[in-house]
Amino acid sequence: LFPRDHQKSAMVAYRCAWEITRDPSITILYISSTSGLAEKQLGFIKDILDSSVYRRYWPDMTHPDEGKRKRWTNTEIMVDHPKRMEEGVRDATVFAAGLTTGITGLHCNVAVLDDVVVKENAYTKDGRDKVASQYSLLSSIETTDAQEWIVGTRYHPKDLYGTLITITEEVYDEDGEQVDLDPVYEVLQREVEDLSDGTGNFLWPRQQRGDGRWFGFNAKILARKRAKYLDKTQYHAQYYNNPNDPGNEAIESELFQHYDPVFLKKLEGVWCFNGEPLAVFAAIDFAFSLRDLADYTVLVVIGISAAGDIYILDIQRKKTNKTKVYYQMVLDAYLKWGFKKLRAEVTAAQEVIVERIKDDIRRDGLLLSIDKFRPVRSMGTKEERIAATLGPYYENNSVWHFAGGMCEILEQELIQYNPPHDDIKDALHSVFGIMKAPLARSRMRRHSNVITHARFGGVASG
């Protein structure tokens, strides 16, 4: 993962030509975001193999007469080296494909993913799903011990590259026992310069070639690039592989307030803060996926006072897609905090989960209702809904965090426009939708309700 304008695509094309030279029987699937871009890269590889210098050293690789070559088209090539015949290779030496190209039935020793994540598919869930779908086909067409070479630049925390960086595989010992988890990919990720402010050491320092042409970056060139990006988040993604702008906070960190938990007490069965009764509510954000456990399931509990102060009381966060774990999270929080209402944002698949949790609640006799919430398109995107709900409360200094723990993760999610995970702030937004301040009443105090007679002692009569 290198910054833009750092010759990533050229380097991987050179490597393809090099690997073909080392092993003419190799089969390479070259995928770009569009078939046109992939064909352009294939054309570059063809130019290398067809050059006079290359032909001087490896004359058996391609027939001098292009018309007599086995296959030499815009979408695929087969070199004419005799080793391909000896190995009985049927697939193309290089096959160029876009994200929508049918690749079922192909076989390859090497899969190249060159800039498959682009602006057009990075910023919508449908676009990201399309990229993930094409990637998922690779496992079925790659031969045993096949390699994947992936080059690109980050756009979004949940783009394909963000996923691939984190995926792991089980490691087993000689007895078949799992002993570890290892990253699937070796990741080489670099920034345009190492201080993130335009003044550091550049990955590709500005330099002049012998013919007078200039290449690379310096502070002046980078400053011009930055000035032309109206969306600075996109600039940081493209040149620092960081899909968030460190200088632009979604919710400013100076708005975060922290309460002292010593003032949080349960008095006469009611949770209070500094003697003020709190109405307690909760929300759960499911991470239900048939494909993986990429997201977390989060349960957030808040308390709100009559004055409108909101205290984040508890945050549970687990990677799971098991209904029994969901219910245990709800049960544990219910027994501790005693909330009577829980909101659950649901999709069609999660309706079943909520119904099962309701069955468990009835079985255990809990005094708890679940408010199912299904957002509709007219409410805007999830990011827009979260910003519209949470922003005003923080700007009015109404929200109080506990220090450390899961609130540190929440604060990172709140600061960033595009956090890698937004599960906690999503659940917080959800619970804000059902909270209701209690009626103002006398402060709770730790004393007996029995009234004694002021003069004679004993108990006063009604």
Q: Which residue has the tokens 């409108």?
A: 308
Q: Are residues 237 and 257 in the same domain?
A: no
Domain count, the chain: 3
Q: Are residues 267 and 415 in the same domain?
A: yes
Residue 420 and residue 416: Cα distance in Å, rounded? 9
Q: Are residues 357 and 317 in the same domain?
A: yes
Q: Which residues of 109-138 are buried (b: 16+ CB within 10 A; e: fewer)?
A: bbbbbbbbbbeebbeeeebbebbbebbebb
- Tell me the percentage of the chain whose pLDDT exceeds 90: 69
Is 452 a domain residue? no
Q: Are residues 85 and 226 in the same domain?
A: no
Q: Are residues 162 and 237 in the same domain?
A: no
The yes-or-no verdict on residue 291 having pLDDT over 50 is no
Task: Give φ, ψ of 94 to 5 degrees.
Answer: -140, 130
Report pLDDT for 381: 75
The whole domain housing 201 covers 192-248
Report pLDDT for 289: 52
Residue 436 and residue 454: Cα distance in Å, rounded? 40
- Residue 31 in 3-state DSSP? strand
Return the amino acid letter for 402. F
The yes-or-no verdict on residue 294 having pLDDT over 80 is no
Report pLDDT for 181: 83
Position 448 confidence tier, pLDDT thresholds 50, 70, 90: very low
